[in-house]
Amino acid sequence: MDTLGLMGHQGHRPRGGRYEVLFVYEDEDIVVVEKPEGLSVIAAEGSRTLSLYDIVTSHLQKTNPRGRAAVVHRLDRDSSGVMVFAKHAAAKKILMENWNDLVFERGYMAVAEGAFREREGCFDSWLAENRGGQVYTTKPGAPGALRALTDWKVESSSPRYSLLHLSLQTGRKHQIRAQLAGAGHPIAGDFRYGARTDPLGRVCLHASILGLEQPFTHERFSFESPPPEGFGRLAEGREVKP
């Protein structure tokens, strides 16, 4: 299995834009990028706002004028980190139909508010979604609820913030955000899920690891991206400017 880090790769910055997208890996079927925070994966219907999809498609069209990126999973607009796009319809179909088999690891780094009593554990909860798209923890087996499992470990902490490594066993909408909020430790900057502080001017959630089996060659890759420097500084109790 190859491990590919995202640091040190040349990024593509859209002209006139403020977003830098790092293109990490590419072959005939897939392209792996690092999404910056604040950039939507897909623009809302009717919107002309630049999206990650637009940037990746523009990149593909440099060598194939008819090329178009295909979205197979998403990160929230205010999160950052590793993502994969399919380069053609066949790759999209295989990835989406076999996602849980082809993706063997999904790891995140997050800065949560407060200090944890334990150093590691597993969030085992049931998540449901209200009409406004808000995900919340609920009773086991509640109507419409899905079980969500997330392993977590405290990497460093201060009285105000904790830096966590989280590994998904399941992939529910807003899983980490809702589970940390339900545990009384919302992600810093995540006001939608109860955060009280915004030390970095963003939701402090970063997709740090994506373990992926190439859908056609079956070669296994682990794409890794370190969290923003400010994450660690917060957990060490040092002041960070957004």
Residues tagged active-site: 76
Residue 222 token pair: 């682990």
Count, residues in the chain: 242
Among 86, 81, 80, smallest CA distance to 67 is for 86
State the number of CA atoms in the 13 A half-sphere of 220 facing the CB: 7
Q: Are 212 and 221 in contact (CB under 8 A)?
A: yes
For residues 181 and 183, give the distance between their C-alpha atoms in angstroms, rounded to a whole number.
Answer: 5
Determine the straight-line distance between the first and last CA of the chain, rounded to whole angstroms: 37
